[in-house]
Each structure stands twice: as structure tokens, then as C-alpha cells.
Amino acid sequence: HYGRSYVFSFQDRLERATSAGVTIANIPLGGPPEGAEDYLSNPARQNLHHARNTSPETVGLIALTQTYIGNPILFRDFPETLAREFQLQPSKTEIADIAYYYSLYAMIYGEFDKGIQYLHQAVQEMKEDFDEPRLSQLLSRRALIKFRMAHEEIITSGQEDAHRAWEIAQKYHEPNLMAVSALALATGARIKQDFLTAEEYINEASKIYTDLFRIPQYIECMVEHLKILLLGLGLKSTDKQLLFNTVMEIKDQADKYIIERINVYEPEYCYLMAMIYHHFTDAPREYVISWFSDAVLFAERYGQQSNYEYFKETCSQLGLLEEVEKRIKDSSACLLYTYPSPRDL
């Protein structure tokens, strides 16, 4: 049940239409049967029960959980593999939610074009349906994927998506929407090399997810925060000791959550720690290699091909690839997570 907070019921269809300046006549035809209100307006509540749990969205949630533990069976060859498990034809909102879940897989496993394709379709559907809360979260996710693509126009478009998502989140004052849009804005600021803005927004997102105890999203923020700290450590104007303290705080949380619960973020986490140790500490060479080895090993183990190739290319550029490959070959797993603080190195 990790991270279940994606279905929103802030306004019904009539209220959304009214807020958009559209009048819809509603002719009552009698009261709904017992339980119908929750079934129609809050499918998340129905999905928490085994009885009548035939919503296609449930299959998407299972696929998302598989992704978090590093075994995304149902999201491979999306949407065919997922659709085979549907017992009912999904509604437009269920399709939008499933596209949202799939986008997390797409971002981690490098299926950017495919992820944006389904998010774009969902965005258009939610615009037509005046479903602003879902629109906000879809825009945030689309922005996060766009920021992974090395194309200036796409990145600029991602900035627009992130700001629009934030505007909607502010309108509804909904914490989950504000958190994911803040994460998108933080990532966009990092891409623009704006450390202070990125730090402001990532702290906002992390605080909200901590208060809500949304573990997967909190971990995603931790990984992004390490990228922001990597940027900050390279600036002359920053307090390096303060940033290292934050790195160690993140590491303590990573030992608790990434390694024990949400394994899919482990390769990128190890890679970022390796980069910090290599560039900004006097850590022993073998110590740095152990982190890079874990990053490469786990990326391969969890099928993250794009990360695997990128990490190996980085190791090659740093002149460490031969030693990293030797370490991986000599050991079936390099789990050296009881590292000292960089202050002690």
C-alpha cells in the first residue's frame, strides 16, 4: 500500500464545471444505493477492500508496487501486459491514474517517450473533464520526465508544466499536489543551475511527504535532494559543511527506507553518493569504487538499462571502470553501507 494518495475528490463534476464557467443542469432521479457515493467519487476507498475490488486501477497499483521493489512485471510492455489483468473496462479517470503510475516506471526505467505519450493523453482527457487536481499531478509527472530529456525545448516545456501544476496545487491547497509540483519545480530549478530555488522547493516537498508519511515519494525527494546537493557542493558560495551534514542525514534515512523497502531507487542513490565522495571528499579510492560498484551492480540487477549504461560511462570517464568491474566480478554483492561520515575521512 506504499504511496497510495493519487485519487482525489475535491469537487464533483458539477462543481468543476461551475468553476470553469460552464453550467450543467442536474436532474435528480432518486437517491443512490448504499455505498454508491464512495464507489463513484472515491474509488481509492473501494480499492482498500478485497470485496468488489475489480477496479482496473487496482492492477495499476499492484504494478506500481512491483516497480518500487525492483520487479516491474506488469509495467513491462505497457499497456498490453497490464490490460490483460483488467476485469472491467477502465474509466477515463482510471486511465489517467494508471498513466500517472506508469510514469514513475517510465522515468526510472528510461522509457521517457512512452511515458510522456500516455501522460499527454491523460492531460488532455482531464482538461476536457475539468478535473484540475488530476491535471496538476499529471503535469508534475510530465515535467519530471521532460527534465530527463536532453532537449532545450522539451525542458522549457517541462518548466511550464511544473509552474502550471504548482498554480493548481496552490488553488486547492492540497498537500499531495503541492508536494509533487514542488518536486517538479525543484528539479526544474536544478536543471537551470538555480541551487537556492531548488533547495527551497525540495525542502517543501520533503516536509510534506514526511508529514504524510508517503515513503516512496519521500525517497524520490531524497534522491533529487542529493542531486541538488551535488550541484551546491560545486558552488563557491555554499557552506560545504552544512551541505555534507544534509548528505549524512539523507544517508541515514536511505539506510532505513531505500535499502529495506523501496529498492528501485538504490542504484541512483549509490551513484549519487559515489559522485559526492569522489568529487568532494578525500575518501579512499577503494571506498569510492565500492559505491560505484553498487550503483552499476544494482542497476543491472533491477533491469535499469539506461542507468546501467550511464553509470558505466561515468566510471569510464573517471578512470574507474576497470576497478569497478573487477570488484563486481569478485563479489556477488557489494553492500558496504556502514560508512563513516565524510567529516571523518
From first to last of its 345 residues, the chain has per-residue pLDDT tens of 334 344 444 556 677 677 777 777 767 666 666 666 655 555 555 555 545 567 888 888 889 988 988 889 999 889 998 888 888 888 899 999 999 999 999 999 999 999 999 999 999 999 999 999 999 999 999 999 999 998 899 999 999 999 999 999 999 988 999 999 999 999 999 999 999 999 999 999 999 999 988 889 999 999 999 999 999 999 999 999 999 999 999 999 998 888 778 889 999 999 999 999 999 999 999 999 999 999 999 999 999 999 999 999 999 999 999 999 999 988 754 444 444 443 344
pLDDT score of 41: 56
Per the structure block, which three cell numbers stand in for 291? Answer: 559505491
The H-assigned helical ranges of 234-284 are 240-257, 266-280
Question: Do 75 and 81 form a contact (C-beta atoms < 8 A)?
Answer: yes
As a whole number of angstroms, the distance between CA 140 and CA 172 comes to 15
Rounded to whole angstroms, how far apart are CA atoms 217 and 300?
Answer: 23
The DSSP call for residue 85 is T
Per the CB < 8 A criterion, the answer to whether 257 and 68 are in contact is no
Q: Which three cell numbers stand for residue 274?
A: 559515489
Close Cβ partners of 314 (under 8 Å, ≥ 6 residues apart): 271, 275, 292
Q: How far apart are CA 295 and CA 268, in angstroms?
A: 6
Q: Identify residue 62 by its one-letter amino acid code.
A: I
- Using an 8 Å Cβ cutoff, are 135 and 123 in contact? yes
What pLDDT sits at residue 338? 45
Question: Could you write out the three-class secondary structure of 1-20?
Answer: CCCCCCCCCCCCHHHHHHHC
Whether the bond between 79 and the residue before it is cis, its omega within 30 degrees of 0, is yes
Largest CA distance in the chain: 74
Task: Provide the whole-model pTM.
Answer: 0.80
Which residue in this structure is represented by grid cell 513491462?
76
Q: Are the C-beta atoms of residues 195 and 231 closer than 8 Å to each other? A: yes
Dihedral of CA atoms 79, 85, 88, 93 in degrees, nearest 10, equals -40
